[in-house]
Structure 1
Amino acid sequence: MSDDASAPTPRTPRAEVRERLLVAGADVFAESGVHGARLDDVAARAGFSKGAVYSNFSSKQDLVAQVMQRSTNMVLASLQEVVRADVDADRIADVVRAAFGGHDQGRQFALVSEFRGYAMRHPEFMPEFVRQRRELHDGVLDLVRLWFGAHPEVEPGMALEDFAAVLVGANVGIVFDAPALPGVDPGAVIAGVVEAVVRPRR
């Protein structure tokens, strides 16, 4: 009869290890700041040794970049789920209101702020920061183009590129100033922008 107590502990799949480290990295960076965060803290939060970090990421900067990429992907994925071509013109403002105001963005903004500060202090990271922010803006622009392309009955009151930039910029600004704007819902403000910009085609 085999002794279960002596059986080897199943090895955690590499993909799971990496995901747990990314989640832990996001938590630690948001709480302690990228500069103050230690890889030992990230590893411990994920339930691994520091060696697991270095077996999955080439450096702290690589971990920062991958945590930011995961965050960027999640934001775009959440927008893509709700802003679809089949959303009627009379419902688009409500959809945008839900997309930008349906959850607390404070933690997400704390992360973006940390990434921006890290890029300012580490110029070699700035190109990666710019690439990912451009990826976010381009993703929002793709959604704007997709929706307007499916709704020839309406037109925007500004260039689509500017409209996409306003949506992202307004959201970032409102979340940044949230402590000074008690009770202001980013979703409601951005929905108002959409209602002001989208108009029947003449």
Structure 2
Amino acid sequence: MSILKVFNTLGIVNAEQQEEWRSTQPQRRPQRTDVRQRLLAAAADEFTERGYAAAKLTDIADRAGFTKGAVYSNFDSKQGLFAELLAQRSLDLAARVLAHVSDLDPQAAAGAGGGEIASWVVAEPRWPLLTVEFGILAGRDPVIAERYRTDRRALRSELERLIADRAVQWGVGEAFDARRLAMSLAALISGLAVEHSVDPEEIDRSVIADAVSELFAGAIARAQLD
């Protein structure tokens, strides 16, 4: 039993004194992984509220409860922080979609996959738009462009791997062009997200779901013909 508990049992200290005592004790230093995850969570809120260009590392650090130095000890730059966050979100979506269709036949999977992606675009419209904003900035800034290319290629490569694994389970692995589908899917989602943000009544969930499902269905059909 701690000294504080002993004193409390004996009636030597009251609740207010206990709280004051705790406030004077050294706090446990957060683990590096905890700091990193808190910074990523704070960055997600800051980027979605302000956009990539307007978001500031100082504000992200404040929101997470750290100093700006904590950001730089975990990420090499604002671009690096955003790129990791975006890759994390994108791969989480891909894994969720593929898990959702894992027990379905190819045709049913095409429809279910389209619906899952459409739901994400409608529920979190700012994330695809942030990707577009980052891409536009990359077209003007060579430093951002280098980071954008590197991370987008890595993302497409991982997406290609996930799709290829699923194609093998569907029995069309050898003929399935996973690379082509990964590239087309990434571009299609970005375009549909922009259109949805401008005209959500016309480009609604069903339109997005149909477009993505048709892309999947076409890729599967071509593989089955080969």
Q: Which category describes the TM-score, using the shorter chain as reference length?
A: 0.7 to 0.9
Counterpart contact for 1:154–1:198, Cα < 8 Å: no
Aligned to 2:181: 163
Greater fraction of residues in helix: 2
Pairing of 1:115-126 with structure 2 (within 5 A): 115-126=134-145
Q: Does 1:33 align with 2:55?
A: no
77, 82, 87: which is aligned to 1:59?
A: 77
- Cα root mean square deviation, aligned: 2.9
How big is each residue's C-alpha offset from its partner over 1:154-178, in whole Å with a ceiling of 9 and x where there is no partner? Answer: 997x844333332222222111111
Aligned to 1:142: 161
How far, CA to CA, are the matches of 1:29 and 1:159 in structure 2? 34
Q: Does 1:91 align with 2:108?
A: yes
Deviation >6 Å, runs of 4+: 153-156
How far, CA to CA, are the matches of 1:16 and 1:188 in structure 2? 40
167, 173, 195: which is aligned to 2:217?
A: 195
TM (normalized to structure 1)?
A: 0.80
Counterpart contact for 2:163–2:182, Cα < 8 Å: yes
CA separation of 1:155 and 1:167: change in aligned 2, threshold 3 A: farther
How big is each residue's C-alpha offset from its partner over 1:60-107, in whole Å with a ceiling of 9 and x where there is no partner? Answer: 3433333334334433433443353x5322421233123312322412
Flag the structure with larger Rg: 2
Counterpart contact for 1:30–1:114, Cα < 8 Å: no
Aligned to 2:93: 75
Unmatched 5+ stretches in structure 1: none
Q: Helix, strand or coil for the counterpart of 2:53?
A: coil
Report the number of matched residues: 200
7, 14, 25: which is aligned to 1:7?
A: 25
How far, CA to CA, are the matches of 2:80 and 2:171 in structure 1? 44
Unmatched 5+ stretches in structure 2: 5-20
Counterpart contact for 1:101–1:187, Cα < 8 Å: yes
- Please report how far the alpha carbon of residue 25 of structure 1 lies from its aligned counterpart in structure 2 after TM superposition: 1.6
- Please report how far the alpha carbon of residue 125 of structure 1 lies from its aligned counterpart in structure 2 after TM superposition: 2.5
- Please report how far the alpha carbon of residue 41 of structure 1 lies from its aligned counterpart in structure 2 after TM superposition: 0.8
Q: Does 1:151 align with 2:170?
A: yes
Name the amino acid aligned to 2:69.
G
CA separation of 1:9 and 1:161: change in aligned 2, threshold 3 A: closer
CA separation of 1:65 and 1:27: change in aligned 2, threshold 3 A: same
CA separation of 1:53 and 1:173: change in aligned 2, threshold 3 A: same
CA separation of 1:60 and 1:135: change in aligned 2, threshold 3 A: closer
